[in-house]
Amino acid sequence: MILVRLVIQVAVWLAMTGALLLFPAGTLDWPAAWVFLAELGIAAVATGLWLARSDLALLKERMASPVQKEQKSWDRLLMGLVMLLWTGWYVLMGFDIRIHGTGQFPVWVQIIGALALPVSVLTVVLTFRENSYAAPVVKLQKERGQSVIDTGPYRVVRHPIYTGALVFFFTTPLLLGSWWGLALAPVIIAVLAIRAVMEERTLTAELPGYQEYATNVRYRLVPLLW
C-alpha cells in the first residue's frame, strides 16, 4: 500500500511541477524542463523504494502532510512561505522562458545544472541514511526515541538537507536556463536559513545533547562559511 501511495504522490507532484513550469512558458518545447522533470521523478522513486526497504518509518514521515499537529506554529508559517515561494519560483521561470526564450545560458552551464541536481539528491539520501528522524516538519519525536545524530554529513554541517536544498535552488535555474529563477533563489534560501536557526533553538531547548553537538560542528549549511 505504501508503494502505491508513493507512486501516486510522485506522479501528482511531477504533474503539478510540470504544469507550474510549462503553462507559464506557453510551450512544451523546453527540453531542459523535461530533463529536470525526469531527474526529479527518477530521484523521487529511487529514494522512495530505497527507504521502503531500509527505513519504512522515515518514508512514512517524509510522505506525511507538511502541516502536522505536533509541528511548531512558527514552522507552519515558515513552511507555508517556503511552499509559496517555491511555487512562485517555478511559475516565474516559466514566464522567463516565455519572454526571453530558452537560450539565456550556454549549453555547458545547463549541463552543470543537470549534473548538480543528483548531487543535491545524494546529499539528502546520505542524510536519510544517518537520520531516521528527518521529518519534513520541526517536531521532537519522543515516541521514536529521537536522539542527536552526529555521523555522516552531520559531521560537516548541522543541516545537510538544507545544504542539498541550497544546491538545488541555485543550480536548477542553470539547468532550466532562467535568470529570474536564479535571482529568486537567494530569497528562498534565506527563509530556509531562518528556519534552520529556529529549528536549532527548538532542538537546543528540547533535545538532550544538541547544544554540545552544535558546539562541536560549527557550520549550519555551508562548510567554512555559515
CATH number where 15 lies = 1.20.120.1630
Report if residue 221 sits inside a domain.
no
Report if residue 21 sits inside a domain.
yes
Question: What average pLDDT does range 61-70 have in this prediction?
Answer: 81
Nearest to 118 by CA among 219, 44, 62: 44
Task: Say which residue the cell 501516486 belongs to.
Answer: 8
Report if residue 223 sits inside a domain.
no
The three cell numbers locating residue 190: 534565506
pLDDT at 226: 87
* Residue 144: count of CB within 10 angstroms of its CB: 13
Query: Rounded to whole angstroms, how far apart are CA atoms 59 and 64?
Result: 9
Task: Say which residue the cell 528540547 belongs to.
Answer: 206
- The pLDDT tens digits for 146-203 are 889 999 999 999 999 999 999 999 999 999 999 999 999 999 999 999 999 999 999 9
> Which span out of 53-67, 68-82, 164-178 was modeled with the highest average pLDDT?
164-178
Query: Rounded to whole angstroms, how far apart are CA atoms 77 and 34?
Result: 32
Question: What average pLDDT does range 52-58 have in this prediction?
Answer: 90
pTM of the entire predicted model: 0.91
pLDDT at 194: 95
Report if residue 222 sits inside a domain.
no
Query: Rounded to whole angstroms, how far apart are CA atoms 190 and 82?
Result: 10
**Is the predicted pLDDT of residue 143 greater than 90, yes or no?**
no
Q: With DSSP H G I counted as helix, E B as strand and the rest as coil, what are the percentages for the chain, rounded to 5?
A: 75, 0, 25
Give the mean pLDDT of the chain.
Answer: 93
Report if residue 196 sits inside a domain.
yes
Query: Rounded to whole angstroms, how far apart are CA atoms 119 and 35?
Result: 15
Whether 104 contacts 179, CB under 8 Å: yes
pLDDT at 12: 95
The three cell numbers locating residue 203: 532542538
Instruction: Give the C-alpha distances (Å, rounded to integers) separating 121 from 71, 106, 160, 163.
Output: 25, 24, 11, 10
Question: What average pLDDT does range 94-116 have in this prediction?
Answer: 95
Mean pLDDT lowest among 58-62, 117-121, 167-171: 58-62
Report if residue 147 sits inside a domain.
yes
Give the residue numbers spanning the domain of 148: 2-216
Nearest to 37 by CA among 180, 162, 181, 175: 175
Nearest to 13 by CA among 81, 83, 117, 114: 83
Pick 192 or 103 by higher pLDDT. 192
* 53 contacts: CB under 8 Å, gap ≥ 6: none
Q: pLDDT grade, residue 136 (50/70/90)? A: confident
Q: pLDDT grade, residue 44 (50/70/90)? A: very high
Whether 125 contacts 50, CB under 8 Å: yes
Report if residue 123 sits inside a domain.
yes
Q: Is 103 helix (H, G, I), strand (E, B) or coil?
A: coil
Q: What is the domain count for the chain?
A: 1
Report if residue 195 sits inside a domain.
yes
